[in-house]
Structure 1
Amino acid sequence: MWRKPAFLITPLLMVAAPAASQNLTPPSHIDALVAAFTGKAIGQPGGARQAVDPRLRLTACDQGATAEWYGSQEQSVKVSCPVPGGWRVFVPVMGSERSQPVISRGDLVQVRVSGAGFSMSTRAEALQTGAVGATISVRPSYGDVRKSLSAKVLEAGVVGIDVP
């Protein structure tokens, strides 16, 4: 039986020891944060495509890591440590009905504007492609056609603007 010489293993242990002694954010913590944010487990539609690489070494985040959607199509979750010199990790999510575009650039869409005690609607042209929940730019079919508005995609062919 062949044995590995001790002099090859010792340097590896010396390199691994400092990393193990540091205060790190475990990748499983990032997995749990993404699952809580999306409401879906790893591998489910709408959840992370796969677990974060267990070899990832990130410093501990004293203020607590945050999660937010990344990209206009919400195909990734950005997990970050919001401190100076902090880190960020982008976790791809599996496609779901939420991430499939329901409005394409150039579509004529209904814009629903609502606020305290009122609601109205008008037509506009979509200037971007978007999935449900995404914010896209639209150009109203009235007034100054050079101006655009930001609106949230509510469903196929419908966007909304909430006025406080």
Structure 2
Amino acid sequence: MQRSLIRHLPLVLLAATVLAVPALAQTPVAGTTTDLAAIDTAVAEFTGRAIGLPGGAAQPVDRRLRLARCAAPLAIGWRTGTAGERRDTVLVRCPDAGGWRLYVPLASAPPAANAPDATPVVQRGEAVTIAMIGDGFSVEQGGEALDPGPVGGWIRVRSAAAPGTGPAARSEAMRARIVRPGLVEVPVE
């Protein structure tokens, strides 16, 4: 009997390994998943609003998610769609090969006005530099603020018309975050 067990030991070990692997796959090992609280923080920094506030994430990311750890920094931007679409969802993605995408809905009511205690550093009608920021690039152009706002606040802006095109060539308004007086940024994917 003992000799029979020794002869079949490699087969028994192989069977035990095959049965154990699926159980291990269901239990994430510490350090192999993305920190979901870090995603919440990144979305709050991107929108300039806390979770639950108008314009911020509607709720925290579901803690049951097990997203693979991302070696590269997370890429965050607006969910893109048809022109003129409201910006009501933030796209968080892992740019690694085979990475994941997570869509974070924002609280439904857009901010009607900036916080009352925040001092506006950009005024309506003021000339601003609009920086279009994306993965690995940044493009700047002149524009006009359509709303007043404080640093970190979101306002509507419009890029300046090209010289010689006249007032009919005005561009559509877009939302931008105020970086400092005279500079706003529009994250793009």
* TM-score in terms of structure 2 length: 0.47
Task: Say yes or no: does 1:114 pair with 2:161.
Answer: yes
1:67 pairs with one of 69, 72, 76 = 76
CA separation of 1:118 and 1:31: change in aligned 2, threshold 3 A: farther
Aligned structure 1 segments of 4 or more residues deviating by more than 3 angstroms: 14-18
Query: Is the 2:161–2:169 contact (alpha carbons within 8 Å) kept by the matching residues of 1?
Result: no
The CA distance in 2 between the partners of 1:88 and 1:23, in whole Å, is 17
CA pair 85-112 structure 1, distance change in 2 beyond 3 A: closer
Instruction: Compare 66-75 and 82-91 and name the one that shifted more.
Output: 66-75
The offset of 1:15, in angstroms, is 5.3
Q: Are the aligned partners of 1:112 and 1:120 in contact in 2 as well (CA < 8 Å)?
A: no
More helix as a share of residues: 2
Larger Rg, first or second structure (1 or 2)? 2
Separation in structure 2 between the aligned mates of residue 18 and residue 112 of structure 1, nearest angstrom: 50
Task: Letter of the 1:96 partner, please give it.
Answer: P
Following superposition, the deviation at residue 16 of structure 1 comes to: 8.2
Alignment: residue pair count:
104
The answer as to 2:97 corresponding to 1:84 is yes
- Does 1:43 pair with 2:47? no
Task: Flag structure 2 segments of 5+ consecutive residues without an equivalent.
Answer: 1-19, 113-157, 176-189
CA gap 1:50/1:121 in 2 versus in 1, 3 angstroms:
same
Note the residue ranges of structure 1 that are not aligned, 5 or more in a row: 1-10, 99-110, 125-150, 156-164
1:31 to 11, 30, 40: 40
Q: Give 1:20 shift.
A: 3.1
Q: Is it true that 1:96 corresponds to 2:110 in the alignment?
A: yes
Measured after TM superposition, the shift of residue 25 of structure 1 is 0.4
Q: Of Structure 1 and Structure 2, which has the larger fraction of its residues in strand?
A: 1
Structure-1 separation of matches of 2:37 and 2:52: 15
